[in-house]
Amino acid sequence: MFRVAVIDDYQGPAAALDCWQQLSEQAEVSFFPDHLTDPAALVERLQEFDAVIATRERTPFPAALLERLPKLRLLITTGMANAAIDVAAARSLGITVCGTAMLPHPAAELTWALILELAKHTGAEQDALRAGRWQSTVGLDLAGATLGVVGLGRLGRRVAAVGAAFGMNVLAWSQNLTPEQGAEAGVEAVSKEDLFRRSDYVSIHLRYSERTRSVVGEAELRLMKPSAYLVNTSRSPIVDMDALLTALHGGWIAGAGLDVHPVEPIPASDPILRAPNTVLTPHIGYATRGNFELSYSDAVECVGAFLAGRPVRVL
């Protein structure tokens, strides 16, 4: 029987889906809700499986790990891009790597949850209210404020559209963004320096690659207003975290909302947990019921197609 491992199913949403029944006569599917960081433990767990379904980038698959999994024939990632998988190494080892569709809106929606919490302090006010304190903070107005969108792809455009609906002035920058493309999206295309200098909220929506590593560093953070906020729901390495910690503790910026972190799950020793004026979430931007239903249904299709000798969505 073809053996399939579904890993990092933290809260069990994958195991709860009905789509796996389609594989009942072709494959044996096992679900693992815990996260393993030790390579030896990971090899021990996965060495007898023919296929692995990885949830986004929760577990990296570098060449050194793939070489220790000789039975592995199929590696599926939720999403059509995964910087944590060495796709070239997989190909050289004869491992087929496939991806799935993902919904475009969940991460954009979480971006606004973070921005609204930074501006309105609803979580902090609820905690204070339950502790017996009435009106502990003063909120900020979004209407008339300036939103800077770093990366105007499908997620950035959604975030920009919501900002415009709030009555915000919306700026955008990415390496290849033209004024015409900005105008088409209803935003003002500006230089990176201008965006960081003028924005009250800077939201990052770039795809991670070596080209975008540390795109936001000390120089960009020093340009920001002391009253401005940085929001990152994309990938942690896009922001220089040492520079961000310095900016937060030094009061260069007013605060930050982060859904992505250098090490996930985030360890108790991570200094961001003790940084002031932060709203932190555990990489839940993509973790919605609709996304899991779509991506794991696609993963089932990928397994079936591979077993039929016609792989689909190959990366």
Q: What is the CATH number of the domain that holds 244?
A: 3.40.50.720
Statement to judge: residues 131 and 183 lie in one domain: yes
Residue 314 located in a structural domain: no
pLDDT in tens, 286-303: 999 999 999 999 999 999
Statement to judge: residues 247 and 156 lie in one domain: yes
Statement to judge: residues 113 and 52 lie in one domain: no
pLDDT in tens, 75-126: 999 999 998 999 999 999 999 999 999 998 999 999 999 999 999 999 999 9
Residue 207 located in a structural domain: yes
Statement to judge: residues 182 and 212 lie in one domain: yes
Domain extent at residue 19: 2-103+288-307
The confidence band for 208, taking pLDDT boundaries of 50, 70 and 90, is: confident
pTM score, two decimals? 0.93
* Whole-number Cα distances in Å, 206 to 65, 95, 99, 232: 28, 28, 19, 10
Q: Which of 47, 17, 61, 52 is nearest to 32 (CA)?
A: 52
218 is catalytic: no
pLDDT in tens, 154-172: 999 999 999 999 999 999 9
Statement to judge: residues 71 and 191 lie in one domain: no
Strands (E) located in 68-177: 74-77, 96-99, 146-150, 169-173
Statement to judge: residues 292 and 237 lie in one domain: no
Residue 54 located in a structural domain: yes
| Count: domains in the chain | 2
pLDDT in tens, 141-152: 999 999 999 999
Query: What is Dmax (Cα atoms) for the chain?
Result: 64
Output the pLDDT for position 36. 96
Statement to judge: residues 36 and 80 lie in one domain: yes
pLDDT in tens, 16-74: 999 999 999 999 999 999 999 999 999 999 999 999 999 999 999 999 999 999 999 99
Q: Is the pLDDT reported for residue 209 higher than 90?
A: no
283 is catalytic: yes
Statement to judge: residues 299 and 197 lie in one domain: no
Residue 24 located in a structural domain: yes
235 is catalytic: yes
Task: Report the alpha-carbon distance of residue 306 to residue 288 in Å, rounded.
Answer: 27
Residue 312 located in a structural domain: no
Statement to judge: residues 245 and 179 lie in one domain: yes
Residue 47 located in a structural domain: yes
Instruction: Choose, from 121, 158, 205, 235, the residue flagged as catalytic.
Output: 235
Instruction: Choose, from 158, 198, 283, 301, the residue flagged as catalytic.
Output: 283
Statement to judge: residues 120 and 268 lie in one domain: yes
| 8 Å CB contact between 233 and 111 | yes
| 8 Å CB contact between 105 and 291 | no
Residue 315 located in a structural domain: no
Structural tokens at position 308? 């039929």
Residue 297 located in a structural domain: yes
The confidence band for 210, taking pLDDT boundaries of 50, 70 and 90, is: confident
Instruction: Choose, from 117, 188, 264, 301, the residue flagged as catalytic.
Output: 264
pLDDT in tens, 239-289: 999 999 999 999 999 999 999 999 999 999 999 999 999 999 999 999 999
Statement to judge: residues 89 and 229 lie in one domain: no
Q: Is the pLDDT reported for residue 190 higher than 90?
A: yes
Question: Which residue(s) pair with 255 in the sheet?
Answer: 229
Statement to judge: residues 38 and 80 lie in one domain: yes
Q: How many other CB atoms are found less than 10 A from the CB of residue 262?
A: 13
